[in-house]
Structure formats: structure tokens, C-alpha cells
Structure 1
């Protein structure tokens, strides 16, 4: 049996995952998560994920961003000792953060496919738009846990690919709507 690979992230109505935390992340329209009224129950999916996450997978840029504050964040303390994987052809072992659980660099999509064949539970991908795009197109992502925000962000990064990419069929596992316009959408990839 293979391990489940889950992409989890914030996304806009037009499918952009670009710069949810602010314009410093790259998109001039960034910061849309913090521009949305805070409704605690809209983030319940994140607490649910904590219970089933057995490992984390990042692309290089997301690893560098998250590893600068997650190791000391009380909100992310449950991730502290979990195994972490970074998919990168360029990240050196010397760039890995000490004291944040075991971390392994994976150099290719094939390395990620081999990781899925190991024993263990669900592996969650946070951020990492380019990695999610590549792994989705390779048929390696099994589920999408999305919090969709009521914005359009033309020109933003997407995790679903360009026009003409192969179609992927999804099955709705769970959904909810919240007073601030956020939607919870959990889809399994149908094979």
C-alpha cells in the first residue's frame, strides 16, 4: 500500500495559490488570506490535518520560508519532530535547519514516487506551488485539501497546470462554507 500524498493550501477562486500572506511573497495582489475576515471555524481543516500528518514535503522555496518560523511557532509545534522532505535539485544538506526533526532532500519526482512506496501515513505538502504542479501532473498527489478564498488573482501561480494539461478527475470528500466567504474543499484524485 502506498502512502497518501496530500496537497494542502489556500487558493483563490481562479485557482491561484500565489502570495496568500503578503505582497513580499511576490504577487502585487498578495495578502488575501489576511484581508479576509477571521472566522475561526474556517480554519478547522488545519487542525484536522495535524491529526493525520505523519510527514511534511516541501519544495525548496517553501522549505526555506517555513523553516524560518515554523520550528519556533506554537501553532506548528505538532510538526516539530515529524520527518520532513524537501524536493530540490539545488538545496545543499548544509542549508537544512537543525532541531526541526529529521529532514531528507529528495532530488527528483522519482524520489518522491519512491517515498510514497515506504511504510507510514499521510505526507502533506504545504505551499510549494511548483512542486505540487509537477507532482500532480505526474499523478502522485492523492488528495487536495483546499481553503478557497473569495478573490481573483490573475497571473498568480497555480497548482493545476497550464491549458492543455491532462485532465484529472476528482471526487468530493468534504466541503463547507463559512460566513467570511471561504470554502473548504477536500477532493480525492480518482484513478
Structure 2
């Protein structure tokens, strides 16, 4: 299975608490629900498209415990997100969770990166990560992410959990697709092309004969 990270971001990279005031106030976060005023049908179609490709869902403990009580209530068969989350196999990474009652859930503890690598080797289309800040960071640093799908919204919060923070493994990406929504969000599909400081290509500009150019 291909491992994809699907998430909502602000311009300063914040992914915390997009859907509601009390969704994730940890760390004194003040802007829960920042995404809601920017929701539109374009975004809905993009997100439905994500879940249409999923054969399994991978979540961190905090996101799992936020998602379960909300999405279990959504029984509308026309809601593609709820239908996927409530029925598909779910894997939650936790060393403290002992009981996972959401339908079709398996707890991954201990060496979860090895377990996730094994899942990737199995059959299926996509193993999808949604939210799950610390998990997404660990997967990035381990080089396990095959594709990022980022919806970036036109606002800066100045606080909150970020997808890429200081110390993240240096990486380069190829832009595989892009769109904009009517509400002004930019949707990027990114494929990792280089991973680690030794693989990241750098260069230098110079002035030669009065002209600026890339140094050979």
C-alpha cells in the first residue's frame, strides 16, 4: 500500500484543530475551527476524493480519540468521509491505549514504524494518515511517506502544531498536482524525491560578465 499524508495547513504550516473550537486546545491553542470559514464544495470534493482511494486509515492516539466520537455519529450513507472512517480497517499508534472500540481498529504499539512498513508491503491501494501531528512527523523522519496531499489555507496563526518543524528531516518534493478552491485554498500533491541532508540538492547564484546566473 502507498502511505499518504492528507492534511489541512495554514500558510505558517499549522495543522492543529482545524475543525472546531474544542477539537484540540492543547498547548493553549486559541484558534480551533480556523478552517471552517474557508470550507466550500471544492474542498469537499477534494477530501471525498482522498477517502475514495483509501483501503486503510492510520491515526495517532489523539486524533483517533477526537475522530471516533464525532464520526461514529454520522450515519448518512452519502457522507464519503464517515463511510470510510466507520468501515475501513483503522490502525492507531499508541503505547498507552489498551481498548480501541471503533469498528475495525488495531492498536500499534512498540516498534510502530516497523509495523507500518509491514502494512505498506501488504496488498491494497492507500494507507492514509489524517491529522496526527506527531505520527506524521515520525513517518516523515523515517522516510515512510510516499505522497503528501496538502490543502493550504490563506491565513497565518502564529501558534499551534506544525506539519514540519525545526529538526524535520531535509527533503525535496516534486509537485504532482495542484488546484485552488473557490475559497482561496491551494491544494498541492507532492511526491518525495530526495530525503536526508546528504541527498538534498543545493546550488549557488553568481554574477559573471555582468549577468546573474546559476554557478556551474
For 2:21, the equivalent position in structure 1 comes to: 23
What is the aligned residue count?
183
Q: Deviations over 1:3-58 (max 9, x none)?
A: 2111111110111101112332212022111132x421133211211221000000
SS at match of 1:131: helix
Q: Deviations over 1:70-115 (max 9, x none)?
A: 12313212332211100111110x2x125x2x21111122221222
The whole-number CA distance in structure 2 between the counterparts of 1:111 and 1:78 is 22
- What pairs up with 1:3-22 in 2 under 5 angstroms? 3-22=1-20
Is structure 2 residue 106 aligned with structure 1 residue 104? yes
Q: Deviations over 1:139-182 (max 9, x none)?
A: 111111111111112121112231x4321111111111123111
Of structures 1 and 2, the larger Rg is shown by 2
Q: Give unpaired runs (5+ residues) of structure 2.
A: 195-216
Between 56-65 and 145-154, the greater mean CA deviation after superposition: 145-154
SS at match of 2:145: coil
TM-score where L is the length of structure 1: 0.89
- What pairs up with 1:92-171 in 2 under 5 angstroms? 92=98, 94=99, 96-98=100-102, 100=103, 102-107=104-109, 108-162=112-166, 164-171=167-174
SS at match of 2:46: helix
The whole-number CA distance in structure 2 between the counterparts of 1:161 and 1:4 is 24
For 1:57, the equivalent position in structure 2 comes to: 58
Assess if the C-alpha contact under 8 Å between 1:86 and 1:104 holds in 2: yes
TM-score where L is the length of structure 2: 0.79
The whole-number CA distance in structure 2 between the counterparts of 1:144 and 1:114 is 20
Say what the alpha-carbon RMSD is for the aligned residues: 1.5
Q: Give unpaired runs (5+ residues) of structure 1.
A: none
Assess if the C-alpha contact under 8 Å between 2:140 and 2:169 holds in 1: no
